[in-house]
Structure 1
């Protein structure tokens, strides 16, 4: 089985972390039905899942005409959404276990969403997971949101890595297109809209829920040496790849300088240069390479030139 070199995990918010796509779908249909728009509304709302709000507004004007009461629809949509979410922000299955496993693996993680920054901050706070991420990237951070790759490229940059070294988890076809275009390892967990054949081709796997994502990461993650603490006593069983860095070789202690038979005090002489001695102004004996002392002329045997030639 091929292992992945993963340095970060990037996760979509609506429909992947939070079970809000159903809320948005119900609120959108209710808002337009209240104003008398019923024909083709359900299919149109399904097609807008995963698309940023400004793009959806242009879609509605193109479909219904310039006289479409967009302001009133937005007001009714916001009121219906707040009414549904008043009972609490629903999480998707397996969210907490997945976040715990990613943290135990020592991998940074970021939210990559087509929602606005204010909406993302509020919804993550209501869900109680806003403190679990190293970064939150929204449509307000880029000029082109999903399905363009800009959000995923920026998220990888914020986490100080590259998109091909990131796992991207998405629920919608536009999100899959964005993650794939950025070069990320793309996993899809479909929410409402099933994956198209193009999305299946762009994904490494299409999985039923986030528990399956966690299991796949456990089988696919490549051990990455790190000096940071990895798994804890409460880590999931698949977090067992904390590869320790190889021990540094132990160097033998330096050999002591053996005393010279000709200069017994050679080991005690300081090693310095003539320039350093002159700059310090302190008389220092310069290190002299040991060599046999020269004999004095008086100790040399006297021989005549004739005797030397004969020898």
Structure 2
């Protein structure tokens, strides 16, 4: 294993640990259609990785006659019901989380979902997976602002520059990069542009702490590591 190891690993949730984006898309579609509107797949893709209040404003503009908080609560409850029926784990996520815990590497969940949903997912993991949770209702500025990841590092008591962040979307990755974390994108629903500022992995399946440490060490050395 590479000797230079991250002080902590910060995890996005939707699309990175669990493949819940289709659940969100279904909830959005049903909500907009219940008010006589139309919500396309492309419309839904535009919300991937965005903060809930941003999404709520767009849904209101499409005719959903509810307050922003009511929209968020409606979507959240719909997605939670779908999660309770089936938790759609992403390949490799659970195994990597378990290895980090066994190695004593601190972890934080950094999600723009509400804390109630984050807790539902965390409670579904069959081991104590996270030392801290940052949710959408814990921060003033949602992703792509760096506040969520800076908050995660602060809760763990580590320097953000010594952390690795894992993300599946462009807004989430922008948040991680802007925070100063060594950032890895694992694209799912939407592509992530290549950049010198982050690493892209096609999947977490088969990835280990050694792989994370390799990316971290390469970043600190100013070289590339995929």
User: What range describes the TM-score normalised by the shorter chain of this pair?
Assistant: 0.7 to 0.9
Evaluate the alpha carbon distance shift between residue 202 and residue 86 of structure 1 in structure 2; reply closer, same or farther with a 3 A threshold: same
Give how far 1:129 is off.
4.9
1-side partners of 2:8 and 2:72: how far apart?
36
Q: What is the match of residue 128 of structure 1?
A: 125
**TM-score normalised by structure 1 residue count:** 0.61
Task: Say if 1:121 and 1:130, in contact at 8 Å, map to a contact too.
Answer: no
Which structure ranks higher in relative contact order (CA pairs < 8 Å, sequence separation ≥ 6)?
A: 2
What is the CA-CA distance between 1:80 and the residue it aligns to?
A: 4.4
Report 1:57-72 matches (<5 A). Answer: 57-61=56-60, 63-64=61-62, 68-70=64-66
SS in 2 for 1:168: strand
Instruction: Give the SS at the match of 1:54.
Output: helix
Specify every segment of 5 or more residues in structure 2 that has no aligned partner in the other structure, as ranges. 218-226
CA contact (8 A) 1:27 1:81 kept: yes
Q: Secondary structure at the match of 1:136?
A: strand
Where structure 1 has 5 or more consecutive residues not aligned to the other structure, the ranges are 223-311
Match of 1:205 among 199, 202, 209: 199
Partners in 2 of 1:25 and 1:203 — Cα distance? 29
Q: What secondary structure does 2:85 align onto? A: coil
Q: Tell me the alpha carbon deviations over residues 222-256 of structure 1, each in whole angstroms, 9 at most, x when there is no partner.
A: 6xxxxxxxxxxxxxxxxxxxxxxxxxxxxxxxxxx
CA RMSD across the alignment: 2.6
Residue 55 of structure 2 corresponds to residue 56 of structure 1: yes
Matched, 1:161 2:158: yes
2:44 is the counterpart of 1:45: yes
Partner of 1:290: none
Output the CA distance in 1 between the equivalents of 2:109 and 2:77: 25
Indicate yes or no: 2:131 matched with 1:139. Answer: no
For residue 91 of structure 1, report the CA deviation from its aligned partner. Answer: 1.2
Please give the TM-score of this superposition, normalised by the length of structure 2: 0.82
Q: Distance in 1 between matches of 2:110 and 2:84?
A: 24
Q: For residue 159 of structure 1, report the CA deviation from its aligned partner.
A: 1.2
Q: How many residues align?
A: 213
For 2:76 and 2:9, locate their aligned partners in 1 and report how far apart those are by CA, in whole Å. Answer: 31
Indicate which of 146, 170, 195 corresponds to 1:149: 146
TM-aligned CA distance change 1:157 to 1:77, over 3 Å: closer
Counterpart Cα distance in 1 of 2:201 and 2:111: 20
Deviations along 1:108-153, one digit per CA (max 9) or x if unpaired, are 111001111222112321x225721111111222211211101111
Q: Which has the larger radius of gyration?
A: 1
Paired residues of 1:177 and 1:202 also in contact (CA < 8 A): no
